[in-house]
């Protein structure tokens, strides 16, 4: 969905699938990286028990007041947060591709 096929004889020139995104895909990805709580680009991503990713600080605040998912509003089996290293890597290593207007 987010990759474009690149024909090249030199595989070493392909460093990341982010390098070959269409502008439409870039905007789509950037919107997916918005925290549903803050509506801002996620900087410190954390995953809740239901598998959704949010900004860690906003999620901690939500979970202090709620026992439910910020997205689904269904009860969460626990309040532990797990770092989302894939999202963290994307926002740290490819910020220019995540810019949109």
Condensed to tens digits (0 to 9), the pLDDT of residues 12-63 reads: 443 344 444 444 455 666 777 889 999 998 999 999 999 999 999 999 999 9
- pLDDT at residue 41, as a whole number: 87
**Direct distance between the N- and C-terminal alpha carbons of the chain, in angstroms, rounded to an integer:** 21
Band (pLDDT 50/70/90 cuts) for residue 87 is confident
Q: Residues with Cβ < 8 Å from 82, sequence gap 6 or more?
A: 46, 47
How far apart are the C-alpha atoms of 42 and 70, rounded to whole Å? 15
- pLDDT at residue 96, as a whole number: 56
- 71-85 mean pLDDT: 96
- pLDDT at residue 33, as a whole number: 84
Residue 35 near residue 54, CB atoms below 8 Å = yes
């Amino acid at each position: 969905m987010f990759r474009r096929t690149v024909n090249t004889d030199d595989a070493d020139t392909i460093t990341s699938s982010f390098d070959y995104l269409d502008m439409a895909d870039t905007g789509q990805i950037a919107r997916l990286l918005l925290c549903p709580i803050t509506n801002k680009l996620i900087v410190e991503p954390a995953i809740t028990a239901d598998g959704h990713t949010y900004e860690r600080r906003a999620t901690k605040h939500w979970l202090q007041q709620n026992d439910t998912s910020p997205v689904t509003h269904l009860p969460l089996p626990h309040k532990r947060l797990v770092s989302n290293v894939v999202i963290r890597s994307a926002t740290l290593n490819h910020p220019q591709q995540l810019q949109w207007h």
